[in-house]
Amino acid sequence: MEEDKDRTKPDFGEESDIDPDVVSADAKRMYVEGIRRMTPEAKIKIASDISELTRKLTRAGIRQRNPGISEEEIERELWRIIDESRGSVFIRNKNAKPA
């Protein structure tokens, strides 16, 4: 039986002398420094790209779970999921096009 491992830290193998706490701290520091050096426009571009990728993946998941679903139904379900994730009580007009 495999012993319980801490899966919150990377496993570099038994022979490694790499300390996952140090690597994680360094990686976080480098990430934060990189974000701080970015222009506001670059940050917005990254956020926009992540948002679009999330919508594409969500559409693909809806399509996979609902074979034969129309594109209109996919969009309606996508925005239902988005509204629900925001805790929104807003009901989108079924004829409205997403912004």
- In angstroms, the CA 45 to CA 39 distance is 10
What confidence score (pLDDT) does residue 31 get?
82
What confidence score (pLDDT) does residue 37 get?
93
What confidence score (pLDDT) does residue 69 get?
96
What confidence score (pLDDT) does residue 84 get?
87
pTM: 0.57
Spell out the domain ranges in the chain.
20-69
Structure tokens at 45: 């571009």
What confidence score (pLDDT) does residue 1 get?
45
Q: What is the mean pLDDT of each run of 10 residues along the chain (99 residues)?
A: 52 57 76 89 94 96 96 96 77 54
Longest dimension (CA), the chain: 61
